[in-house]
Amino acid sequence: MRSLIDILDFSTSEVDELIASANDIIDNPAKYAEKCKGKKLATLFFEPSTRTRLSFEAAMLELGGSVLGFSEANSSSAAKGESVSDTAKTISCYADIIAMRHPKEGAPLVAAQAASIPVINAGDGGHNHPTQTLTDLLTISREKGGFENLTVGFCGDLKFGRTVHSLITALSRYKGIKIVLISPEELKLPSYIKKDVLAKNNIPYEQTTDLESVMPELDILYMTRVQRERFFNEEDYLRLKDSYILEPRKLTNAKSDLCIMHPLPRVNEISLAVDDDPRACYFKQVLYGKYIRMALILKLLEEAQK
């Protein structure tokens, strides 16, 4: 059974096909309105979410299917001690496809091994978030026309930010990519990603604490929130939370076609005044998230029928 746990579960040509399918859905929504009639998506969210869960649900509804699920661990039998495997086996009796978010790294993989229907990782702890990456790739392809020869800056919490980990992994498969890592010392990209992804694929990268000094180089600036829920103590979070605040004056030396992205939610890291800058892409990103999830649901349900 085909699932999506890690972005590398899909080849680059499959990613291209998903992007083409999302673009076709954007252009011809009526053609897709009944594609999933009679099918059910279960959203199993053991961690908070606004965009990911609701974009999955909107995606399935726009495909003519229906949705069931829960949005808090406390309202499921996990609160009684049920294992992820047993939950996945149970949901396989009620639904056709699962989207799961869980605070424990690897939980969606465990679910996929137990389920008899496709499982989509909708974020596992500080590890991966492959559907945000598909959203980000659709955004980049629409804004930049492709993925080659881009200098991409990642700014903020690169240690715990799962969207950063998955997007860097995805971008490492394209030619001419350069990565700029901008974070406080304490929130640097984990060394396993530098070694297994960046070094292994010969991707040039630089690390800095200074956003403004690298701004002129960037084609894409990917801002992130400091991941409060992954900190061991509140003091460290309070000290680091406002490390970077993007304001209009910091963009004076930026490229005129810079694409500013953020997976959202934003806390303080982009000032509201930036929202009116034509280079701000983060609300477009939100909308693209629904379309790429429609393409993903269609693909996995088609493969499940084979």
Q: Which residues are catalytic?
A: 51-52, 80, 101, 129
Task: Let me know how long the chain is.
Answer: 306
- In 3-state terms, what secondary structure has residue 4? strand
* Calpha distance 93→249 (Å, rounded): 55
In the shown chain, the binding pattern of residues 116 to 135 toward ligand NCD, with x for contact by CB under 6 A and - for none, equals -------x-----x--x---
Would you give the DSSP letter of residue 221?
A: E
Smallest distance, ligand NCD to C-beta of residue 51, A: 5
Smallest distance, ligand NCD to C-beta of residue 55, A: 9
**Residue 129 · residue 123 · CB < 8 Å:** yes
3-state helix, strand, coil split of the chain in percent (to 5) is: 50, 15, 35
Q: Which residues, 60 to 99, sit near ligand NCD by CB under 6 A?
A: none
Check residue 263 for interaction with ligand NCD (CB under 6 A).
yes
Is residue 146 packed enough to be buried (19+ CB in 10 Å), middle (13-18) or exposed (0-12)? exposed
* Calpha distance 51→107 (Å, rounded): 20
Check residue 35 for interaction with ligand NCD (CB under 6 A).
no
Smallest distance, ligand NCD to C-beta of residue 216, A: 26
**Residue 5 · residue 112 · CB < 8 Å:** yes
Residue with Cβ nearer ligand NCD (40 or 53): 53
In the shown chain, the binding pattern of residues 132 to 171 toward ligand NCD, with x for contact by CB under 6 A and - for none, equals x-----------------------------xx--------
Residue with Cβ nearer ligand NCD (1 or 267): 267
Using CB under 6 A, count the residues that bind ligand NCD: 11
Burial profile 21-43: b = 16 or more Cβ within 10 angstroms, e = fewer: bbbebbeeeeebeebbeebbbbb
Choose, by CB under 6 A, the member of 127, 159, 225, 290 that binds ligand NCD: 225
Choose, by CB under 6 A, the member of 52, 92, 166, 172 that binds ligand NCD: 52
Smallest distance, ligand NCD to C-beta of residue 229, A: 8
Part in contact with ligand NCD (CB under 6 A); list of ranges 56-64, 165-173, 191-199, 260-268: 260-268
* E strand segments, the chain: 40-45, 66-70, 97-102, 119-124, 151-155, 178-182, 205-208, 220-223, 259-261
- Alpha carbon distances (Å) from 7 to 149, 164, 235, 236, 286: 20, 12, 34, 31, 19
Smallest distance, ligand NCD to C-beta of residue 77, A: 23
Residue with Cβ nearer ligand NCD (51 or 279): 51
Q: Could you list the residues that contact ligand NCD (CB under 6 A)?
A: 51-52, 123, 129, 132, 162-163, 225, 263-265
